[in-house]
Structure 1
Amino acid sequence: MSVESPLCDGSGIAAMKPAFQLIETLRYEPDADFLRLELHLQRLENSARALGFPLDMPAVRRQLAAKGQGNKALRVRLTLDPDGVIDIETAPFEALPAETVWRLGIAKTRLRHDDPLLQHKTTRRALYVAAREEFSREEVDEVLLFNDLGQLCEGTITTVFLEIGDKTCVTPDISCGLLAGILREELLRKNVVRQAILTLDDLRNAQKIFVGNSLRGMIKADLSCCFATL
């Protein structure tokens, strides 16, 4: 399916083009093709339509098929610019060991709960870079962000999942201002997790913490090592 939605204002006059691209980061496995491919393409199509990026979906599928070959796992980075130009880059991918536990920090940098662009995956990354730079690579593996209302949102490259109460697994509600992550979407559709508005106390009191994304899957996490004072 092709999406053609020119960047224009209500009068039909071309508007200023965004200074960012849409991005999807996929994982290719020789025995499973692209993981969660249809969810990635659905998000790309939805974002392109919402933000006015022209999209030739058949061309995306053809280019992905050409890149998804070989007998090694790949990290695949797909970008779509405001003119509809598609670019796909690949790099070798190595999964984390099953016993991996990521150390988490909490950033002082805040997201705005009412920023609609946070629900789309784009190359507009300044806030996430700022949050990550609050900690050294030796201190933490991932940094979590809250919004201006004190609600838990997401990591700089991951979705957050908490096991609470009767082992219910919850993830921050999309209304808090966060990316509609692909792993998150898959688990919501399967009723493995549910959305909730979460606070710092919820994070501190969680029985288990996980972070994850479509590239790496679910990763056990530990908050005890380091976090900022909010």
Structure 2
Amino acid sequence: MQLLETILYEPGEGFYLLNYHLDRLTASATFFNKRNEGFEQIPTANFIEEQLNQQVPLKDGPQRVRLLLGSGGDIEIQHTPLSSVPTWISLAETSGGNTPLKIVLDCQPIESHSRYVTNKTTRRDIYNAARERAECDFHAGEQGKEDSIFDVLLYNEQRQITETSIANIAVEMRPGYWVTPTLECGLLAGIFRRYLLQSAQVHEGIVSIDDVTSNGPKRIVCFNSVRKLYDVELVNRAT
């Protein structure tokens, strides 16, 4: 098992929200170390930043960067070119008219307080199983796959919404007032989630299944630090 941070790199802008990523990486390493699961030696932020600058092709356009930290303190860096960079970062603005991506509600609760949910790691069994149940497709929304399911909406044992398999979520509970599930519901403390909270664009709270299925249509957005904000539409599972 490795700790994982997925980081957006843009020439001229650098590594997006890097300090937030390094904060979370250090917190997770400390969490596992206290449980005698390695991570006795955590590389410094300066060392990690040096490695990123050395190993990522900084002049080759935008990159999706995977930063992995092993239990022995070893760093691994992977990078994939991006054809475009998302720009929607403010809920006060419109999404630019993009068609919402389709998501479905999972058919069973997840183990919401698993250490592999509350920390971002390469152990993604819980998320992969949920995606398989929902028959998700990362290419959903592209030409020829407009009706495919992009992601799955997860919930805990108390039927409280938590997150999706690759993003945090917020629901517009009333006009202009967005609620993102509180960490106590059992979810990852996302990097872009932190940005939205600190900029007072979203508020923590409880979002029930009924809030998104039975109490009238509500606008839903997902977000992570690579895709930033994007609209989603909760649709009924195919039968």
State the TM bucket, normalised to the shorter chain: 0.7 to 0.9
CA RMSD of aligned residues (A): 1.9
Q: Which residue of 2 aligns with 1:5?
A: none
Partners of 2:116 and 2:124 within 8 A in 1: no
Q: Return the offset for 1:113.
A: 3.6
Q: Output aligned runs, 1:169-180, within 5 Å.
A: 169-180=178-189
Paired position in structure 2 for 1:210: 221
Partner of 1:87: 76
Query: Residue 107 of structure 1 contacts residue 228 of structure 1 at CA under 8 Å; is this kept in 2?
Result: no
Q: Classify 1:95/1:102 alpha carbon distance in 2 versus 1 (closer, same or farther; 3 Å).
A: farther
Q: Any idea what SS the aligned residue of 1:55 has?
A: coil
Map of 2:92 onto structure 1? none
Q: Distance in 2 between matches of 1:152 and 1:26?
A: 25
Distance, in Å, in 2 between the alignment partners of 1:81 and 1:37 is 19
The yes-or-no answer on 1:75 pairing with 2:53 is no
Supply the distance in 1 between the matched residues of 2:220 and 2:189 (Cα, whole angstroms). Answer: 19
Q: How far has the Cα of 1:119 moved from its partner?
A: 1.6
Shift of residue 148 of structure 1?
A: 1.1
Aligned runs of 1:213-224 on 2, under 5 Å? Answer: 213-224=224-235
Q: Matches of 2:116 and 2:149 in 1, distance apart?
A: 27
- Comparing 111-120 and 182-191, the one that deviates more: 111-120
- CA deviations on 1:195-223 (whole Å, 9 max, x unpaired) are 11111111123531111110101110111
Equivalence for 2:49 = 61
| Deviation sequence 1:59-106 (CA, Å, 0-9, x none) | 211111112511400000010011111000001013377514210011
CA distance in 2, matches of 1:114, 1:104: 23
Structural mapping, 1:150-165, within 5 Å: 150-165=159-174
TM-score between the two structures when normalised by the length of structure 2: 0.82
Q: Deviations over 1:108-162 (max 9, x none)?
A: 2422343344221111111100110113335301111111111101100011111
Equivalent AA in structure 2 for residue 55 of structure 1: I
Identity of aligned residues (%): 34
Residue 206 to residue 190, structure 1, CA distance change in 2 (3 Å): farther
Q: Which residue of 2 aligns with 1:135?
A: 134
Q: Tell me which amino acid in the other structure corresponds to 2:131.
A: R
Which residue does 1:42 correspond to in 2? 23
The answer to which of 194-203 and 53-62 deviates more is 53-62
Q: Which structure 2 segments of 5+ residues have no match?
A: 34-38, 87-95, 138-144
Corresponding residue number in structure 2 for 1:148: 157
- Cα offset, 1:167, TM superposition: 2.2
Question: What is the aligned counterpart of 1:185 among 169, 174, 194?
Answer: 194
Q: Determine which structure has the larger strand proportion and give its number.
A: 1
User: In the TM superposition, what are the counterparts of 1:18-37 in structure 2 within 5 Å?
Assistant: 20-37=1-18
Q: Which TM-score applies when normalising by structure 1? A: 0.85
Greater Cα shift, 150-159 or 111-120: 111-120
